[in-house]
């Protein structure tokens, strides 16, 4: 299952074995470290290539988009919205048919591969899914672009583990490091990517595992920075904390936790009920056509949601639009998964959290005014990510790296 769909299964036996992997003292320690470094290089190169592909697809599908899908979509006609998303639906159906014929082995779910298949993944099918997801996200499907480099990184981890003759436990570690390196390379978050690979994907934080994860993520980020922009993804002013913010944050945590349960279960339902047979072609056309029609009045639901999230972080989204996107964005994401479209869930979940926090913040301001509206959205995004990924530590670090802020967010984020 995806990282958002993790259930409370008994992982203790796996954790005991993984913490027993001694990186520095193992007989094949040199081969492991070489495999980690090569995984970082391969992931960085693939992330850079996927980023360039995304930019090309986005500019082709939405002329004048550049790096702003939202701006181009707002000025596009209804016909373009409908035709581009119908094209994404056709590509989704065609891609499912082609990918299903590439492999009859393990699926392409990274978490399931790590936990139940010792990290083994079908190479061509996984890379094909990564490329397909980039095309779909560039065309406006409501999923995240980080899914593709995570898949590519996991593939490199699996390939180099095989080449180095590593054990199953080391393969699990290397595949998790590769997936985290993909996140690192996509968004320039080396520390957060390393922690994500261990806390969320591997399910354990151990000092002996941090170094290889950090090496893979750092190398991947450095290589990807040749073409991927090096800097914060989200820009907003430094916000000051206050007693109102701290109290609101303490209330936000449990509420967001309950909301995340609904969201995660919806995603899990969509993943379990992907279409089969001839429905693989028809269902994506229906779903994407509906999303295209709705995206004309609400272009904010297209893509991974980065731009509307940044607007919310700056307090530039009114309560009515916040409420509309809070309903439509998760619905578009869940139905995109239901149709069989591959893609990431990290940034769409962040967007859902930003809208959720913004709505609650407006209500709180009526009781205790004085807090900038954008700060509510920032903290709502952090709370939703922590709850859906079950990775509170990596989420805090990722928010620091994604935004370039630390002191202004450390107290309220840590209180979540």
Which residues does the chain have with pLDDT short of 70?
1-28, 65-67, 102-108, 406-416
Residue 21 has a pLDDT of 45
Residue 377 has a pLDDT of 96
Residue 138 has a pLDDT of 94
Fold agreement between 9-224 and 243-415: yes
Q: How far is Cα 153 from Cα 129, in angstroms, rounded to an integer?
A: 13
CATH number for the region 243-415 comes to: 1.10.3080.10
Closest CA to 71 of 147, 140, 132: 140
DSSP 3: G
With contact defined as beta carbons under 8 Å apart, do 44 and 219 qualify? Answer: yes
Using a 10 angstrom Cβ sphere, with 0-12 exposed, 13-18 middle and 19 or more buried, the burial of residue 116 is middle
Q: Supply 207's token pair.
A: 């000092």
Residue 412 has a pLDDT of 55
Count of C-beta atoms within a 10 Å radius of residue 154: 33
Residue 9 has a pLDDT of 43
Q: Supply 345's token pair.
A: 């869930």
Q: What is the maximum alpha-carbon separation in the chain?
A: 63
Residue with tokens 């139940």: 116
Residue 398 has a pLDDT of 93
Closest CA to 302 of 90, 151, 130, 82: 82
Class of domain 9-224: mainly alpha
Residue 20 has a pLDDT of 47
With contact defined as beta carbons under 8 Å apart, do 36 and 216 qualify? Answer: yes
What residues have CB less than 8 Å from 219, skipping those under 6 apart? 37, 40, 41, 44, 181
Q: Supply 416's token pair.
A: 């979540």
From first CA to last CA, the distance across the chain in angstroms is 26
Q: How far is Cα 207 from Cα 320, in angstroms, rounded to an integer?
A: 46
Query: Phi/psi of residue 144, each to 5°?
Result: -95, 150
Residue 67 has a pLDDT of 64
Tell whether the torsion through CA atoms of 235, 241, 244 and 250 is positive or negative.
positive
b (16+ CB within 10 A) / e for 311-322: bbbbbebeeebb
Residue 18 has a pLDDT of 46
- Listed in order, strand segments (DSSP E) in 58-119 are none
- How many helices (H) and strands (E) are present in the chain, helices listed first? 18, 0
Q: Any idea where the domains of the chain sit in the sequence?
A: 9-224, 243-415
Taking the CA of residue 192 as centre, how many other CA atoms within 13 Å lie in the half-sphere pointing to its CB? Answer: 23
Q: Supply 259's token pair.
A: 């909301």
pTM for this prediction: 0.88
Taking the CA of residue 92 as centre, how many other CA atoms within 13 Å lie in the half-sphere pointing to its CB? Answer: 37
SS (H, E, C) 267-305: HHHHHHCCCCCCHHHHHHHHHHHHHHHHHCCCHHHCCCC
User: Hey, which residues does 344 pair with through a beta bridge?
Assistant: 144
Render pLDDT for 326-359 as a digit per residue (tens, 0 to 9).
999 999 999 999 999 999 999 999 999 999 999 9
Residue 325 has a pLDDT of 97
Task: Estimate the crossing angle of helix 319-338 against helix 346-367, to 10 degrees.
Answer: 150
Residue 73 has a pLDDT of 93
Residue 202 has a pLDDT of 80
With contact defined as beta carbons under 8 Å apart, do 96 and 133 qualify? Answer: no
């Amino acid at each position: 299952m995806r990282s958002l769909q993790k259930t409370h299964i008994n992982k203790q036996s796996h954790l005991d074995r993984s913490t027993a992997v001694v990186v520095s003292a193992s007989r094949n320690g040199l081969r492991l470290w070489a495999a980690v470094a090569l995984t970082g290089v391969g992931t960085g190169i693939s992330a850079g290539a996927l980023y360039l592909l995304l930019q090309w697809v986005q500019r082709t599908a939405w002329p004048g988009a550049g790096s702003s899908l939202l701006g181009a979509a707002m000025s596009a006609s209804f016909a373009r919205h409908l035709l581009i998303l119908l094209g994404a639906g056709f590509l989704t159906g065609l891609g499912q048919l082609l990918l299903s014929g590439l492999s009859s082995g393990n699926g392409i779910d990274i978490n399931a591969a790590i936990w139940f298949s010792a990290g083994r993944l079908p190479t061509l099918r996984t890379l094909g899914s990564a490329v397909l997801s980039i095309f779909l996200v560039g065309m406006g499907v409501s999923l995240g672009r980080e899914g593709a480099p995570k898949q590519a990184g996991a593939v490199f981890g699996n390939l180099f583990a095989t080449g180095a003759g590593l054990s199953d436990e080391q393969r699990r570690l290397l595949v998790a490091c590769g997936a985290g390196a993909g996140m690192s390379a996509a968004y320039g978050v080396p520390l957060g990517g390393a922690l994500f690979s261990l806390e969320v994907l591997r399910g354990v934080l151990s000092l002996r595992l941090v170094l290889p994860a950090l090496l893979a993520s750092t190398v991947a980020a450095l290589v990807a920075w040749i073409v991927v922009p090096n800097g914060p993804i989200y820009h907003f002013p430094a916000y000051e904390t206050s007693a109102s913010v701290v109290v609101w944050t303490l209330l936000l945590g449990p509420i967001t936790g309950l909301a995340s349960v609904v969201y995660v279960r919806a995603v899990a339902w969509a993943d379990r009920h992907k279409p089969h047979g001839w429905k693989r072609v028809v269902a994506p056309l229906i779903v994407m056509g509906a999303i295209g029609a709705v995206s004309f009045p609400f272009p904010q639901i297209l893509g991974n949601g980065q731009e509307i999230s940044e607007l919310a972080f700056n307090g530039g989204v009114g309560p009515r639009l916040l409420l509309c996107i809070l309903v439509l964005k998760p619905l578009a994401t869940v139905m995109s998964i239901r149709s069989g479209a591959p893609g990431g869930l990290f940034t769409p979940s962040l967007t859902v959290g930003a809208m959720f926090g913004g709505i609650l913040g407006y209500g709180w301001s009526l009781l205790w005014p004085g807090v900038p509206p954008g700060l509510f959205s920032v903290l709502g995004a952090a709370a939703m990510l922590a709850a859906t990924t079950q990775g509170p530590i990596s989420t805090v670090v990722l928010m620091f790296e994604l935004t370039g802020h630390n002191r202004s967010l450390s107290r309220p984020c840590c209180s979540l």
